[in-house]
Structure 1
Amino acid sequence: MTSTNEATELHTESREKYAQHARSWDTEIAPVTDWATDFEVLDPDYVLHPEERWAEQRERCPIAFTERRQRSWLPVRSADLQAIAQDVEHFSSRDIAVVSPFEGHVINDIFPVPPISSDAPVHTWARRLLLPAFGPSAIEKMTPITRALASSLIEEHFSGGSGDAAADYARHIPVRIIATMLGIPLEDEEIFTGWVVRTLQEGFQNIDRAMDALGEMTDYFAAKVAERRSTPEAERPDDVLSMLIAADTEQPMTDEHLLGTCFLLLIAGIDTTWSAIGSSLWHLATHPEDQQRLRDEPDLIPLAVEEFLRVYSPVTMARYVTDDVEFKGCPMKKGDKVLMAFPAGNRDPELFEDPDEVVIDRRKNRHAAFGMGIHRCLGSNLARMEIKVAIEAFLDNVPTFELADPEAVRWNGGQVRGPRCVPIRF
């Protein structure tokens, strides 16, 4: 059994290791001169209108290259993304960050977040362990909780004819739901959200704040794990944290693995769904015909959710090139990054008719918003439920709405793309 002090001391060492290997870079983004040979995923134009760059890239150079920060490749065709996702021998998940925070080291060596940063065989059992927590019974249990939460947020923030669909609504739902599932205090919501902002949203520009956030998460979860372990098993609550602590795994689960999984579930469960809900409501605010149709035909909402996920896919992941390999004529070197632009694949005209059009009743829609291959998001059904319930509750409780100030809408990009400010009026 690990005490609170022992766990904290163990991971204080890891915290120092994060800082020791933290990468530093110029936070100013130089203009892109050629998107085929010098792309920049943090370029403001790319954050706002990535589909324009993807369309251009498909014609000129379907796999672009850059040496900004490090050697990186950007495939945009669905078939190429699928091939890379399936080739786990050459393309590892040991470093999933779009912009690596650690100089000369992969994330899984410094700050593992299994199973998403793991390769087989660790990935196999680490993922299998989590599947029951996101299965049908878990989703059924969380659905009424999500619906009640959505209704309370609307009552609290949208009773005066205006509000922010992203900041007042979308950002609160996933953090409270995943905190409930993990079994950590809901009153710490602002702390959790702050970690997300400092690591995924601002970490590219301020590595020191991101490292501090990682250290804070380590201390927080080390204390929660130690506290839960000190509770007799029969008295522990029925939640994901208790499940992880009691798990009988194929390989011994280290504290580092356990804490990394907690980080992953919290961080990944917040920013991605926050972005997806926000994008969906932004679309409805700017496309009154789609908003009205979903009000008139609510049975279409599940199809609309899939289309919003396709068109506004939030997540880009990275793969680490394990050895020199030539892929589709591209000489990839060991240590290179391949940015898995799943959102670009979802706009591929080879796969979708009129791919840049939002068709809310699209029937053929095998999108890759939740990734491809063995690392396809295990929380996809939870995310679908949250998005669906969030849209249903908003349409049921908020009259016809529109953007209050289109110029005030603010999008975040990089690892996760989505709107952070969507002011509406009704």
Structure 2
Amino acid sequence: MTVDERFAEKRRDEDDELVQGVRNEIVTGPVTDWATDFSHTEGEWAADPYPIQDDLRQRCPIARTERFGGGWLPTRYDDVAAIAYDTDRFSSRSIIMSNFRPPKEIAPVGGVPPISSDPPFHHDARKLLLPAFTKTEVGKREAATRAYCHSLIDAFGEREVVDAAGDYAQHIPVRVIADMLGFPPEDGQHFREFIENALEGVNRPPDERVAGMGKLFEYLLVQIRDHIDRPRDDLTSFLIDAELYGQKLTADHVAGTMALLLIAGIDTTWSAIGASLWHLARTPADRGRLVAEPGLLPTAMEEFLRAYAPVTMARLVKEDMSWHGVEMKAEDWVLLSFPAANRDPAQFERAGEVVIDREVNRHAAFGLGIHRCVGSHLARMELRVALEVWLERVPDFTLADPAAVTWATGQVRGPRTLPIRRL
């Protein structure tokens, strides 16, 4: 079977699985009680989830919902950590909580390895990627990233009001990941569409989701063909040629990992950049201090990651069990809210405040356990450089219209529109 045929077969199989695996088509609608009917896809959660999480942590620290076919939401740091580290009872074969559960047979590889992989496969799949994401390799990309950030601000021209999300934050990881994968830099709009379908489109009808995933894999196939015809030194060529257990990676593995890098590697970082700029726009004291003390930025950056952690991951319960006082059933979802864990007062002093000089900050923004983000060095570099350049070029700014700020729904939260007024 040719490479083209293998990837086409993968897409057909995934389309079939999606249609067959849907339990409930629609999971939207007002939430009456977050303890018994939570939904991370609602606008109320996207706009400001922290009061909801704080309330649940006090009165119902492991919330329940019947949406998505049934699931749980722990809000205490210790509970989130315990599940993240427990690979015996919780599977990572699907990390997006929706109305679709992939078949158990997809484990231990999962659809987007290594983040969807269970042990023992996970260790070896993750190890393949580590060399590309070391501090040394990431450091080689810093100069180009800095230059690109400057070019984005140059493009603002004389505009007094700019969209710090759409005109700045969203472009930076798109360019970095496109360069790493060897994709055309002008394809950024396609990447944004893929991300919206995968992460924010979980409530769409199955045929729409299938169409969206089809576009993603069609795009990946075009890039794979191009790399087969013209091999070069990038991650796509590396994955096509890589071997595991003495054999080349399967088509599922290559396409899934490429999809993971394209989607997760972009949305998480642009969300962190946008949330940090949102905070600085509405907090003049912190903004002024960072402009005056640029050496404080790495510390402040970790606090932004803690307070505005963008990523929530899902797990699936493997077998019926009683867990910390609740009765979990096989195939129940568990939504691991790292943002909620990061604001647990039992773990952090002044947990609900943003303290930009916080010295001890063992946050969970990059996850916990074996699935801790393989690209954390890259994300930190992009966030630091993006903020350094912005504060250098735009030291004085504020929210142009706080009511006009919009936030992404779903499991990666960050500003989608962020009107900033340059002062």
Task: Please give the range of the TM-score, normalised by the shorter of the 2 chains.
Answer: over 0.9
Letter in 1 for 2:2: T
Q: Distance in 1 between matches of 2:345 and 2:259?
A: 36
Instruction: Name the counterpart of 1:16.
Output: 15
- Residue 373 of structure 1 corresponds to 369
Partner of 1:191: 190
SS in 2 for 1:268: helix
1:86-141 CA distances to partner (integer Å, 9 max, x unpaired)?
11010110121122434877876997000001101221111000001111222111
Structure 1 Cα separation of the partners of residues 81 and 15 of structure 2: 37
Partner-residue secondary structure (3-state), 1:37: helix
User: Hey, what does 2:289 align to over in structure 1?
Assistant: 293
- Quick check: 1:346 aligned with 2:363? no
Contact 1:408-1:423 within 8 A present in 2 as well: yes
Which residue number in structure 2 is paired with residue 250 of structure 1? 245
Is the Cα contact below 8 Å between 1:411 and 1:420 reproduced in 2?
yes
SS in 2 for 1:157: coil
User: Deviation per CA, 1:323-371, whole angstroms, max 9, x where unpaired?
Assistant: 1121111111111111001100000101111101000111110000010
Matched, 1:149 2:148: yes
Partner residue in 1 for 2:177: 178
CA distance in 2: counterparts of 1:375 and 1:109, whole angstroms: 13
Residues 48, 158 of structure 1: alpha-carbon distance in 2 compared, 3 angstrom cutoff: farther
Equivalent in the alignment of 1:225: 224
Distance 1:57 1:276, change over 3 A: same
Structure 1 position 418 matched with structure 2 position 414:
yes
Range moving further from structure 2, 24-33 or 53-62 = 24-33
Distance 1:372 1:24, change over 3 A: same
CA contact (8 A) 2:99 2:202 kept: no
2:402 counterpart of 1:406: yes
Aligned 8 A contact 1:97 1:415 in 2: yes
1:87 aligns with 86
Note if contact 1:164-1:424 (Cα within 8 Å) is conserved in structure 2: yes
- Hey, what's the Cα distance between the residues in 1 that align with 2:208 and 2:109? 17
Q: Which runs of 5+ in 2 are unaligned?
A: none
Q: Which amino acid aligns with 1:237?
A: R
Partner residue, 2:384: 388
Residue identity in the other structure for 1:127:
R
Tell me if structure 2 keeps the 8 A contact 1:95–1:106: no
| Higher alpha-carbon deviation: 358-367 or 53-62 | 53-62
For structure 1, the residue ranges without an aligned partner over 5 or more in a row are none
Q: Aligned partners of 1:224, 1:30: CA distance in 2, in Å?
A: 39
Question: Letter of the aligned partner of 1:241 in structure 2?
Answer: T
Q: 1:95–1:107: 8 Å Cα contact kept in structure 2?
A: no
1:248-303 Cα deviation digits (max 9, x unpaired):
32264211110000000000011111111110000011101111110000001101
Tell me the SS of whatever aligns to 1:204: coil
For the residues of structure 2 that align with 1:77 and 1:106, how far apart are their CA atoms?
31
Alignment-derived partner of residue 101 in structure 1: 100
The residue number in structure 2 matching 1:238 is 233
Helix, strand or coil for the counterpart of 1:33? coil
TM-aligned CA deviation for residue 412 of structure 1: 1.2
For residue 244 of structure 1, what is the amino acid of its counterpart? L
Shift of residue 190, structure 1, vs aligned partner = 1.1
Alignment correspondent of 1:315: 311
Matched, 1:2 2:2: yes
Inter-CA distance 370–416: structure 2 relative to 1 (3 Å threshold): same
The correspondence for 1:279, drawn from 270, 275, 278, is: 275
Contact persistence 1:7–1:226 (CA under 8 A): no
The Cα shift of 1:408 comes to 0.6
Partner-residue secondary structure (3-state), 1:116: coil
Deviation at 1:193, TM superposition (A): 1.4
Partner of 1:335: 331
The 2-side partners of 1:110 and 1:74 are apart by 25
Mapped partners of 2:306, 2:388: distance in 1: 19
The aligned counterpart of 2:128 is 129
Conserved? CA contact 1:75–1:81, under 8 Å: yes
Q: Give distance in 2, aligned partners of 1:90 and 1:77.
A: 19
Indicate if the aligned counterparts of 1:97 and 1:107 stay in contact, CA closer than 8 A: no
Alignment check: 8 A CA contact 2:27 2:68 kept: no
Provide closer, same or farther for how the CA distance between residues 179 and 206 of structure 1 changes in structure 2, counting only shifts above 3 A.
Answer: farther
1:391-419 superposed Cα distances (whole Å, 9 cap, x missing partner): 00001111401111111100112111111
SS at the partner of 1:36? helix
Give the TM-score normalised by structure 2: 0.94
Identify the residue that residue 60 of structure 1 maps to in structure 2.
59
Structure 1 residues 206 and 277: alpha-carbon distance in aligned structure 2, compared to 1, 3 A threshold: farther
In 2, distance between residues paired with 1:205 and 1:31?
A: 17
SS in 1 for 2:412: coil
Counterpart contact for 2:93–2:102, Cα < 8 Å? no
Could you tell me whether the CA contact under 8 Å between 1:17 and 1:110 is conserved in 2?
A: no
Q: Is the 8 A contact 1:321 1:332 kept in 2?
A: yes
Corresponding residue of 2:359: 363
Q: Percent identity?
A: 48
- Indicate the residue corresponding to 1:267 in structure 2: 263
Amino acid at match of 1:130: L
Q: Aligned Cα RMSD in Å?
A: 2.1
TM-score by length of structure 1 reads 0.94
Counterpart contact for 1:98–1:316, Cα < 8 Å: no
Whole-angstrom distance in 2 between the partners of 1:298 and 1:36: 42
Within 1, Cα distance between the matches of 2:180 and 2:164?
Answer: 24
> Distance in 2 between the 1:259 and 1:47 partners?
30
Q: Is the CA contact 1:94–1:106 (under 8 Å) kept in the aligned structure 2?
A: no
Question: What displacement does 1:11 show?
Answer: 3.2
Sort the Cα spacing of 1:151 and 1:400 in 2 relative to 1 into closer, same or farther, 3 A.
same
